[in-house]
Amino acid sequence: MSLTSKLVLSLLVSAGSLAADSVGYFDDTSICADSKGLSKCYDKADTSLSSCINNNCAGGGADCYKSCNGDTTCMQSQCPNLGTDCMNACSCVQAVNQIDCIASSCWNQVYSCEYQRTIEDVLNLCALPDMDQFPFWPPPDDAASGCSCNIGKMDKKELLIVDQMTTCTNNMTNLDQMSSVDAVNDYGQACICCAESAILSTIWDTCPNTKPSLLDVDGWYNGFIGQNDWPTCGDYLDAYDCAGDLGFGAKDAGGTTTFYKLGGLPKNGTGTLYNTGSLTTPVSGATFTWTFGTIPHVVTAVSTDHVVAAATATATSTGTQSQTGTSTQTGAASTQTGMAIAKDVPIWTTLASVVLLVSALF
Ligand SMILES: *[C@@H]1O[C@H](CO)[C@@H](O)[C@H](O)[C@H]1NC(C)=O
Ligand SMILES: *[C@@H]1O[C@H](CO)[C@@H](O)[C@H](O)[C@H]1NC(C)=O
């Protein structure tokens, strides 16, 4: 090795150790038990993504993939032959791999904003995933550390509300009592209005301190609420019992109890998204298995010395944590969370073919 290349190498190494390492949603992987391991694991998931696309998504894949440098947004607009569904299926696998990466190398941050946003990717990209299968999601209310907003709890409620909208529209107990087309149409609109209101309640009430614009409110307005007569919903919300007769109060329908109307939302929170600390022991022990679809994923928590340092700065996993511990802000910062699913609600039903592809890929 020549002197100059040694010099370049050492410069690179020191630059690497000074600059925060950013991977996926993690602006700074140093909050992770094994930050190097996390980067490596994400690299591997990137490589799998490219081979998945090249091998499965037909039509000049390799060249177009290269010209876009692996950027999926670029590929969706520049490489029409690749097929959006196919690329989503490959990106779904990538996001699932990233879940494994975090559970293994960043087990001390499984309740973090970053982990929950990675789960959102899985929800957005994978066809009808079973959300009860995800490990560490949604974070429990009494978790020793987590994100300033329990994004997972909010997302789960939103998905249950969208499901309930369909259930409500098809509820024969209610429909059987209606004798005119007008009554049925009114009832259908009431189901939609209750869902719109319930979504807004969920955003404002699950994370009252967080700025709503960071919680994909705009996505919901643009993709759903703004397209479904929200300004006229006041009358429907007065006339119908959303929580009871229309079912939105049931726990498995999101458990909404307050239904805000246009102009009646509580004050906006002003807070950002940030992590409140770090776990000191792996939640599910050194090794655990979770299942995605029908495929078991075995995950081993990687322990390094770094954890000890991170742990002393924050909280113990068992209970009482000091104020200083909970207020430590790590990672995440001000970027926003969101579920593309909000904009794609009706598209779900067309994704059945992707299920087959995804399961074939595993
Ligand atoms: C509250 O947040 C929403 C969503 O970002 C925004 O449209 C609205 O203008 C905000 N309201 C106030 C009073 O700032
Ligand atoms: C169907 O409607 C009945 C009567 O209004 C209501 O009690 C029930 O909870 C609804 N079922 C579901 C699954 O929402």
d(CA 20, CA 14): 12
Q: Indicate the top mutation candidate among 203, 210, 268 to test ligand 1's pocket, ranked by most ligand atoms within 8 A of CB.
A: 268
- The pLDDT of residue 61: 61
For residue 232 and ligand 1, the question of a CB distance below 6 A is answered with no
- The pLDDT of residue 67: 82
Residue with token string 């655990």: 288
> Closest ligand 1 atom, CA of 265?
1
Cβ count within 10 A of residue 240: 22
- pLDDT tens per residue across span 220-273: 999 999 999 999 999 999 999 999 999 999 999 999 999 999 999 999 999 999
204 membership: H or E segment, kind and range: helix 181-206
Q: How many Cα atoms occupy the beta-carbon half-sphere of 298 within 13 Å?
A: 1
- pLDDT tens per residue across span 169-227: 999 999 999 999 999 999 999 999 999 999 999 999 999 999 999 999 999 999 999 99
> Closest ligand 2 atom, CA of 241?
5
Q: What is the DSSP string of 296-355?
A: EEEEEPPP-HHHHHHHHHS--SSS---HHHHH--BS-TTPPP--GGGT-GGGGGGGHHHH
Distances (CA, A) of 75 to 35, 50, 86, 88, 304: 29, 11, 11, 11, 38
As for ligand 2, residues whose beta carbon falls within 6 Å of it are 167-168, 171, 173-174, 245, 247
Six token digits for residue 337? 């969370």
Query: Of the ligands numbered here, which is closest to the C-alpha atom of 262?
Result: 1
Distances (CA, A) of 232 to 197, 260, 354: 12, 13, 37
For residue 338 and ligand 1, the question of a CB distance below 6 A is answered with no
Structural contact between residues 106 and 38, judged by C-beta atoms closer than 8 angstroms: yes
d(CA 302, CA 35): 10
For residue 212 and ligand 1, the question of a CB distance below 6 A is answered with yes
Going by C-beta distance under 8 Å and a sequence separation of 6 or more, which residues neighbour residue 278? 31, 108, 109, 145, 310, 311, 313, 314, 315, 330
Q: Is the dihedral of CA 356, 358, 359, 362 positive or negative?
A: positive
- The pLDDT of residue 336: 65
Does the pTM surpass 0.85? The reply is no
| Nearest CA, atom 14, ligand 1 | 268
- The pLDDT of residue 65: 74
291 membership: H or E segment, kind and range: strand 287-292
DSSP letter, residue 285: -
- The pLDDT of residue 75: 79
Low-confidence ranges of the chain (pLDDT < 50): 1-18, 305, 307-334, 340-362
Query: Of the ligands numbered here, which is closest to the C-alpha atom of 247?
Result: 2
> What is the distance in A from the centroid of ligand 2 to the CA of 171?
6
DSSP letter, residue 131: G
> Closest ligand 2 atom, CA of 164?
14
Domain residue spans of the chain? 23-136+283-361, 154-253
- The pLDDT of residue 129: 84
Phi-psi region of 200 (alpha: psi -120 to 50; beta: other; left: phi over 0): alpha
